Amino acid sequence: MLIALISDIHGNLPALEAVIRRIAGIKPDRLYFLGDAVGYGPWPAESVEILRRNVHGGVLGNHDAGAARKVDVSSYYDAIRYVIEWSRDQLNEEQKKFLGDLKYIYNDDTGLILCSHGSPRMPERFDYLYSKETVERLYEVEPFLRRITFVAHSHFFNYFVLTGNGRSVELDLASGRIDIDFPYPSVCVIGSVGQPRDGDKRAGFVTFDTEKMSVHFHRVEYDVEKTVNQIRKLKLPRSFADRLLEGH
């Protein structure tokens, strides 16, 4: 079985459409969504609608939780809070329900995969997994992990392997592929469709082949200027447009 996993769309419709086209060419058996359909970007309703009609399973992101009124966003900084509240107003009832029905954790029926937006250790807190130190906290919940834990939230690509005795290693992703031939649980951070932050402005997603036991990391070109111009046209916070141009 081939599974595609996407996350952190953040209302960036051109990026999502480009990724969906690439995924359609790959022809996976399933598409999983790892959270944050909305926030930052100018097309929240359109993005949620594509996800609502196409994904086979998914989890709640922190921006989604704010838009669905499942978390209090009053402590978020002003620009983020403004766009989350603005995004909520753009959604119809079916789209709000789609977000509101998402859970914090998704275990699929392959028995191989656990999905969470942030760390599955306390998923409602949306803690980041971006370093060996943060990943090693997962030893507290190791019995609940699957062969691969797929997470998002940091907007980076990473791959970590738990190696026992409270330790982990981070793998080199230069080849764009990881073959899963190690006996310990591992963590794949799947990047961002709509707002990558690793210096590469192209949209990112991953695929997982359950038979070959391999993960592939994908990048897709999209019309960044179209999203930038729409953010500026709607007078959403300018910094959310500027960062797309640099991939930060």
Strands (E), the chain: 2-6, 30-33, 57-58, 105-107, 113-116, 148-151, 157-164, 167-170, 177-179, 186-190, 203-209, 214-220
Structural domains of the chain sorted by starting position, each given as residue range(s) with its CATH number in brackets = 2-246 (3.60.21.10)
φ, ψ for residue 127 (rounded to 5)? -70, 145
pLDDT at position 62: 96
Chain-centre distance for alpha carbon 174: 20
Contacts of 74 (CB under 8 A, 6+ apart): 81
pLDDT at position 246: 86
Residues 64/99, Cβ–Cβ less than 8 Å: yes
Distance CA 245, CA 248 (A): 8
pTM: 0.96
Summarised one tens digit per residue, pLDDT across range 185-219 is: 999 999 999 999 999 999 999 999 999 999 999 99
Render 113-152 in DSSP notation, one character per residue.
EEEESS-TTSGGG-----SHHHHHGGGGGGGG--SEEEE-
φ, ψ for residue 187 (rounded to 5)? -130, 125
pLDDT at position 73: 87
